[in-house]
Homo-oligomer: A and B are copies of this chain.
Amino acid sequence: MAEIYHATATAPVNIAVIKYWGKASTKLNTPTNSSLSVTLSQDDLRTITTASCSASFDSDALWLNGAPHDVSNARSQACFAELRALRKAKEDQDSSLPPLSSYKLHLISENNFPTAAGLASSAAGFAAFVRAIADLYELEETPTQLSRIARQGSGSACRSLFGGYVAWEKGSREDGYDSIAVQVAPESHWPTMRAAVLVISDAKKGVSSTSGMQATVATSTLFPNRANVIVPARMEAMKKAIAEKDFEGFAELTMADSNSFHAVCLDTIPPIFYMNDSSRAAVRVVEEINRCAGKKVAAYTFDAGPNAVIYYDEANEDLILGVLKKATDHVTGWSDKYSRISPKVPDGFNDSLLAALSTGVSRIILTGVGSGPLKVPKENALIDNEGNPKSST
């Protein structure tokens, strides 16, 4: 058997605070508006991917959590083609390099969080995919340059190539070349940003984000104003709030933009509903925490599903988690690390708001801002000697 080349990388999940919703070009996977996210810690949520290639491999293949997945889709193919072209250019410059660009690829990928949780895993997945192949090919492109490729796999994946606070600038070129991610601030700039993910189950699976966002673009009369006027202003305000570590400003913009996104979903024909009664209970609890605090100490945001992500600053952890623990002490996720948190609500808190949250949440994931993709030592690769997944741990 010919030599197997491989490299392994991890990539994080990111949760947008200014939302991506709407494609300017479905072919290029460019957005109708810029967006901005916080990268979450890989200690809690990450994809690990080993990219490997060999003259012995018969075809490109991908395994996710041990199961084979199709890579014939246009999105995966676009990423393969772009990365191979970059490798090919290197090989053309230096004939001593092994011709990896001509070999088939085997990708082996695992998430450290349950797929059933309904967390958007495609961002971490495509970021790890691109980062691992770029490492395998020893590409020197910057994360921003690679973000152009990851964007073609899954739009929000471009933001998972960085840690900290990340903008996806929509760009203005016809060919999508300037639709890329940039780091607004590293995690070290504002390391005390925390996130509690409330996993909320839903009887009915919502429409996929790809078809949902295109329905919104095609039919919502409120949408153009959001994409063209409201979000551009919010992007600037959010960058300023992050630069100044202004949590109140960050929180106001985060909540307003989440609601604006779900408003244009509701304004779609037929209407798209991602939030359910439990999601709304989470909104009410966050509003009540802020009311009792007399300022914005927590901010909710919802992606294309019912789960709530609640951002807060570490300084207010006892307050925020005290309330959440009182409502959800029974669910998975309250590890020993949080045993010091007493389940309690502040004085004057309307306890009746907790019941609806308590019944709706099935798991909590407690995490915070984190780093971008990381290299994994060769000995920890997910691949066996034949180029197949090692038996899953």
Interface residues of A (CB under 8 A from B): 203-204, 221-222, 225-226, 230, 252, 255-256, 259-260, 262-264, 266-271, 273, 276-277, 280, 283-284, 287, 356
Contacts and interface: CB of A to CB of B under 8 A. Distances in A.
Given A266-B266, A270-B287, A277-B277, A260 B203 contact: no
A264 B255 CA distance: 14
B273 A267 contact: no
A136 B222 CA distance: 47
Nearest to A280: B273
A264 B222 CA distance: 9
For A266, A283, A284, the residue with the greatest tally of chain B CB atoms inside 10 Å of its CB is A266
14 contacts: A203-B356, A221-B225, A222-B222, A222-B230, A222-B263, A255-B270, A256-B267, A256-B269, A259-B267, A259-B269, A266-B266, A270-B283, A273-B280, A276-B277
A60 B273 CA distance: 48
Nearest to A273: B280
8 pairs of A and B residues whose beta carbons are closest in the complex = A263-B263, A263-B267, A263-B266, A277-B277, A225-B225, A259-B271, A222-B222, A221-B230
Contacts of A225: 221-222, 225
How many chain copies does the complex carry? 2
A206 to B, nearest CB: 11
A108 to B, nearest CB: 37
Contacts of A280: 273, 276
Nearest to A268: B259
A112 B214 CA distance: 46
Given A203-B356, A221-B230, A256-B269, 19 more contacts: A221-B225, A221-B256, A222-B222, A222-B225, A222-B226, A222-B230, A255-B269, A255-B270, A256-B267, A259-B268, A259-B269, A260-B267, A262-B266, A263-B264, A263-B267, A273-B283, A276-B277, A276-B280, A277-B277
A266 B259 contact: yes
A164 B169 CA distance: 52
A266 B203 CA distance: 22
A11 to B, nearest CB: 32
Nearest to A353: B204
